[in-house]
Structure 1
Amino acid sequence: MSPLARRATALLVVLPLIAVLTVVSDHRFAAPPGPARDAPTAMVAMGDSTMSGEGAGSYEPGTDGENGNWCHRSLRATINRTTVAGIDKTFNLACSGANSEQVGLTDKLQNTEQSQAKRLAAIARVNRVAVIVVAVGANDDPRFSDVLNRCVQAWFERGADCTATLSDDWRGRVDRMVPKVERALRDIRSVMDAEGYTQRSYSLVVQSYASPVASSVPADLQNLAGCPLRTADMAWVRDTGVGVLAKGIQTAANRVDARYLDLTRAGAKHEACTGGGKPESEWFTRLTVDFDGLRDQDRASHALQESFHPNARGHEQVGRCLSEFLATTAKTAACVVDDKGALKAVANPTAD
């Protein structure tokens, strides 16, 4: 074949391809999902009061009762005390009082805010989300805050230990909670899938709860000046309540292939009132009353809201442990107090 014939044949092949590419280029395709390549990396906190920063003070404007929003997101919250290499931005979506439904995908508002999972979608669209940390479940069937409130009431009434009536049904409450937490976590996975993420492109961490009280409270603080709770009730919360709750949360985490951080013993020897005359050694708030709020009709019902939650020191310690955990590839770990009195993340911890 002559050179001229070869060129003619090549043109016959190339020209149709050029025509196809021209047609394709004239059609607008939607941009692929996921953030831009140069998007800032982000870490996101989701869940309830233990993640929002309840008890730590320094609440973000707009979340301290303004217009009915009591999310109490603190600038001192755990997520703001967590350090992860390469993270540019941190978002706290957690809200005091939130349950699993409000963390997942729902049209219902909570504290005037839309679903946390829906808000996560907006963040994941313009930021490269690398870490999502979730604490949720206690406000579902277990209603852990109500348990503590009932125990305070039992102290006032001088009746039977409040936890005596809870023990028989506690495991059942936790069992009913598990599928709800699992559903919320699956909603988070679904949101991330829809935004173009693979499960390997981000770390989803689920953490359990620490006991805010212990039976070692001095007798002179088992009153309105500190912790108006019976010794047997505090022992049940620490030795039974949070442990059963943690197992349920871990079950939900395992079902969605999330990482799990156990906090059941994170407050050991630093629970509310255990410091006696040295409250600065405690990582949880004692009975806390907003006396100014009591004089305001709109705030009065929230005057005790901070009670028995991690304080700023507690959030700092959990943030330290979470930072250590996120620096590893471990699937599970627990936060325990080391010999220097600080929290650290350990694998397969031994019992006290």
Structure 2
Amino acid sequence: MARSRWWLTGFALAGVALLVGVFVLIGRDSQQPVEPPGPPGRGPLTIVSLGDSTISGEGAGEYTADTDGRDGNWCHRSPLALVHEVKAPGIVKSVNLACSGAPAGQVALGEVEQWTEPSQAQQLAQLVKTHRVAAVVVAVGANDDPHFSRLISECFTSWFMDSGDPCSEQITDDWASRIEKMVPKVVDALDDIRTVLRNAGYDREDYELVLQSYASPIGPDIPENLRNLNGCPFRTEDLRWVKETGAASLSAGLRDVAQRAGARFLDLSRAGDGHEACSGGADASTEWFTRFTVRWDDLTAVERATHAIQESFHPNAAGHQQFARCLSEFLATNDQAAACLKGEDGNLHPAPSLIPQTVG
């Protein structure tokens, strides 16, 4: 009988010890930080933009004071830029590291600066210390060998001088080779972005990397009375070339970049169809790009005068909203590539991209 009680008592004590052990283990687990799914680290789930003027917010207005000429910084970041308009599940923070005029070398790791700012990839490396980056969207390449913004300026000069051949005829001969020279530079920039995230402990499946191309800000179908300094001072031949050849072949080159870098690709080459600068005639409210724009107050200060027309022919606030709508829907898919096209509701939506994969 005594032996039986001893056995029962021992069994009970063992059970109590087991329960205590379970509670101790549960207590310890509850005190350990739980790694959230997705990107590693701590901080808000964030989308980040890197690149040049088409994504920094140039043309959208309301630039942050520190990027509107202060101490030589003309990156022109706007709170109305597309990155701040993107809607994606779980993402609660948006950060804009893009800088107007930036070449691929300043987006990449290295010593290249743009308007006093260091490498955007290096800035990203600092950001991931306090943010969980779920998506990175990049728009860059036009300021490298293609010099797309300079092309626009040259075509303006051609209209102003009203002599000689259209500027597009001079550009066409080496346009394909310019794009070919650009491709490896943008690939390197995307590779550096991946390097930064990999060094921070990210796996590829932890984030989305999207490269977007450029929408044509101008087109040939504008009223003749706006083909001047009141709106869009370009020859019709040049307007047609920029839209039908320049932007389209630049997008083809950038699609090649995305394929080489293993990034997703969003084709914007036709995103502005029917909403280019001056396309609205007397009613500019339907346009998604700025017309020829002069910030007259800047002309009163020597250090600002050379930037007085910097906003011209860039996506405006409405354009950024539309591009953000398309990007938001694209991020919600598993598609590797898509094109932003206007739907029956008048808004942009991602659709199958049909541009050539190589530059001819």
User: TM-score w.r.t. structure 1 length?
Assistant: 0.88
State whether structure 2 residue 74 is matched by structure 1 residue 70: yes
1:108 is displaced (CA, Å) by: 2.9
Q: Which residue of 1 aligns with 2:52?
A: 48
Deviation digits for residues 218-254 of structure 1, max 9, x if unmatched?
Answer: 1000000000000000000000001111111111111
Alpha-carbon separation, structure 2, partners of 1:181 and 1:286 = 28
Query: Across the two proteins, how many residue pairs are aligned to each other?
Result: 319
What letter matches 1:75 in structure 2?
P
Deviation digits for residues 31-77 of structure 1, max 9, x if unmatched?
Answer: x9x97655321110000000100000011120101110000000000
Paired residues of 2:39 and 2:207 also in contact (CA < 8 A) = no
What letter matches 1:289 in structure 2?
V
Paired residues of 1:35 and 1:124 also in contact (CA < 8 A) = no
Q: Which residue of 1 aligns with 2:236?
A: 231
1:126 is displaced (CA, Å) by: 2.2
Aligned pair partner of 2:83 in 64, 79, 82: 79
Equivalent residues in 2 for 1:1-352 (5 A)? Answer: 38-159=42-163, 160-348=165-353
Q: Which residue of 1 aligns with 2:26?
A: none
Alpha-carbon separation, structure 2, partners of 1:89 and 1:243 = 32
Change (3 A) 1:203 1:224: same
Paired residues of 2:180 and 2:253 also in contact (CA < 8 A) = yes
Identity, % of aligned positions: 51
Paired residues of 1:77 and 1:312 also in contact (CA < 8 A) = yes
What letter matches 1:83 in structure 2?
K
Alpha-carbon separation, structure 2, partners of 1:325 and 1:172 = 31
Secondary structure of 1:126's match?
coil
1:350 is displaced (CA, Å) by: 9.1
Q: Which residue of 1 aligns with 2:23?
A: none
The RMSD of aligned alpha carbons is 1.6
1:107 is displaced (CA, Å) by: 1.9
Structure 1 stretch displaced more, 122-131 or 138-147: 122-131
Alpha-carbon separation, structure 2, partners of 1:200 and 1:37 = 15
Paired residues of 2:248 and 2:355 also in contact (CA < 8 A) = no
Secondary structure of 1:298's match?
helix
Paired residues of 1:35 and 1:127 also in contact (CA < 8 A) = no
Structure 1 stretch displaced more, 104-113 or 64-73: 104-113
Secondary structure of 1:185's match?
helix
Change (3 A) 1:98 1:91: same
Alpha-carbon separation, structure 2, partners of 1:149 and 1:39 = 43
What letter matches 1:53 in structure 2?
G
Change (3 A) 1:231 1:223: same
Give 5+ residue unaligned stretches, structure 1: 1-31
Alpha-carbon separation, structure 1, partners of 2:354 and 2:184 = 27
Alpha-carbon separation, structure 1, partners of 2:345 and 2:281 = 20
1:347 is displaced (CA, Å) by: 2.0
Displacement over 3 Å in runs of 4+: 34-38, 348-351
Secondary structure of 1:255's match?
helix
Alpha-carbon separation, structure 2, partners of 1:350 and 1:69 = 36
Give 5+ residue unaligned stretches, structure 2: 1-34
Alpha-carbon separation, structure 1, partners of 2:47 and 2:263 = 15
Secondary structure of 1:336's match?
strand
1:113 is displaced (CA, Å) by: 1.2
Q: Which residue of 1 aligns with 2:24?
A: none
Secondary structure of 2:137's match?
strand
